[in-house]
Chains A and B, each alone.
Chain A
Amino acid sequence: QKEVEQNSGPLSVPEGAIASLNCTYSDRGSQSFFWYRQYSGKSPELIMFIYSNGDKEDGRFTAQLNKASQYVSLLIRDSQPSDSATYLCAVRGPTGNQFYFGTGTSLTVIP
């Protein structure tokens, strides 16, 4: 079983819609959780992180964490064509030294 699982997509949403990206993780001892965005041919860049149960909002992005269900999600409101990218979920392991990544979900926002 992989440490971090994501639906690979592709996910397509119309411009202005809400995009919902999901991630599950296997290790209950995981400490904190991250969402990265990666454009084709570029390196991953951090969008936001969360480590407490509940929601965390940053502009058009909301991360949601449910540790009981071992589930993390990212909502993108008012999706823009510039949001078209691959979104990577990452989990910081129990030791705090290692980070585990999902395979990513490809998102396309259609104008």
Chain B
Amino acid sequence: DAGITQSPRHKVTETGTPVTLRCHQTENHRYMYWYRQDPGHGLRLIHYSYGVKDTDKGEVSDGYSVSRSKTEDFLLTLESATSSQTSVYFCAISSGSFGNTIYFGEGSWLTVV
């Protein structure tokens, strides 16, 4: 158990509505990530954070924003959800040390109708 909690675990929302996914960690790791996973594309990085208020874009950041106001929380916001954002979203954490890997939360299944 890597001490990661994602919420909500499942959500159905309508096109055009804002959605926020929350990732909470209990182990004070410096790095936090948001990935989405889609058939044929694998895991793709959306945004990541390397400290409080320090974030950077990944390869599929368009349409997403993030915030990290506390070490333990990393929020992913879809400002105006689209059907193409229907996906499974995984939060991950890493200490950042060489050799350390990343550990994933249980995932958030988002459906945009």
Minimum Cβ distance to chain A for residue B58 (Å): 7
Q: Which 6 pairs between the two chains have the least Cβ-Cβ distance?
A: A103-B42, A101-B43, A43-B104, A101-B42, A34-B101, A43-B107
Instruction: For the complex, give the distance between the alpha carbons of A46 and B100 in Å.
Output: 11
Interface residue count on the B side (C-beta < 8 Å)? 26
Interface residue count on the A side (C-beta < 8 Å)? 22
B44 contact set on A, CB distance < 8 A:
101
Contact with B along A43-59 (1 / 0, CB 8 A): 11110010100000000
Q: Could you say which of A13-21, A67-75, A92-100 contacts chain B? A: A92-100
| 5 residue pairs bridging A and B, Cβ less than 8 Å apart | A34-B101, A98-B45, A99-B94, A101-B43, A103-B41
Q: Is the CB of A43 within 8 A of B96?
A: no
> In this complex, what residue of A is CB-closest to B91?
A43
Instruction: Say whether A32 faces chain B, with CB atoms less than 8 Å apart.
Output: yes
Instruction: For the complex, give the distance between the alpha carbons of A52 and B35 in Å.
Output: 27
